[in-house]
Structure 1
Amino acid sequence: MSINRLVLVGRLTKDPELRYTPNGIATTTFTLAVDRPFTSQSGERETDFLSIVTWRQLAETCANYLKKGRLTAVEGRVQVRNYENSEGKRIYVTEIVADNVRFLEGNRDSQRDPNEPDHRRPYDKDPFHDDGKPIDPADLELPF
Structure 2
Amino acid sequence: MTRAWILPILFLVCGSLVATAWAVRGFPGAAVLLLLLMFVLLAGLNSPLAFPRSISAMEAQRRSAVDGRPIVYWRAGCKYCLRLRIRLGRSANRLHWVDIWRDPAGATAVRAANDGDETVPTVMVAGQPHVNPDPEWVRAQLSPTT
* TM bucket, shorter chain: under 0.3
Question: What is the TM-score with the length of structure 1 in the denominator?
Answer: 0.25
Which structure would you say has the larger Rg? 1
Question: What is the TM-score with the length of structure 2 in the denominator?
Answer: 0.25
Q: Tell me which protein shows more strand as a share of its residues.
A: 1
Q: Tell me which protein shows more helix as a share of its residues.
A: 2
